């Protein structure tokens, strides 16, 4: 695969992920229920994590991958805590 084609595909994927992130943030802001807002936050952190990974591929560095791992881990913990709070009303029993 040529370098120009790879660069074009990475830029296109960044644009698509940015649009998906924008739509997820809109879901967080205007979600009618709390469950919709949690789903929007979950989608937003996944899109942000993937944007970092694609940016790392575009720039040829590995530093963004570590930040993406941290975002993924924190997002998983936050989603799990919010789900437990919405189901039971408390996070820690």
Domain ranges of the chain: 3-88
Whether 1 has a pLDDT exceeding 90, the answer reads no
pLDDT at 92 over 80: no
Predicted model pTM: 0.85
Stretch 53-79: mean pLDDT, rounded? 92
**Domain 3-88, CATH number (from 2.60.120.330, 3.40.50.920, 3.30.1360.20, 1.10.287.3510):** 1.10.287.3510
Q: How many whole angstroms separate alpha carbon 55 and alpha carbon 85?
A: 34
> 13-47: per-residue pLDDT in tens?
999 999 999 999 999 999 899 889 999 999 999 99
Q: Average pLDDT for residues 1-12, to the nearest whole number?
A: 90
């Amino acid at each position: 695969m040529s370098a120009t084609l790879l660069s074009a595909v990475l830029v296109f994927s960044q644009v698509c992920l940015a649009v998906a992130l924008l739509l997820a943030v809109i879901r967080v802001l205007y979600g009618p229920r709390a469950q919709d807002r949690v789903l929007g936050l979950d989608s937003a952190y996944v899109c942000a994590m993937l944007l970092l990974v694609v940016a790392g591929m575009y720039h040829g560095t590995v530093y963004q991958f570590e930040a993406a791992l941290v975002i993924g881990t924190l997002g998983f913990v936050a989603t799990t805590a919010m789900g437990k709070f919405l189901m039971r009303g408390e996070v820690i029993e």
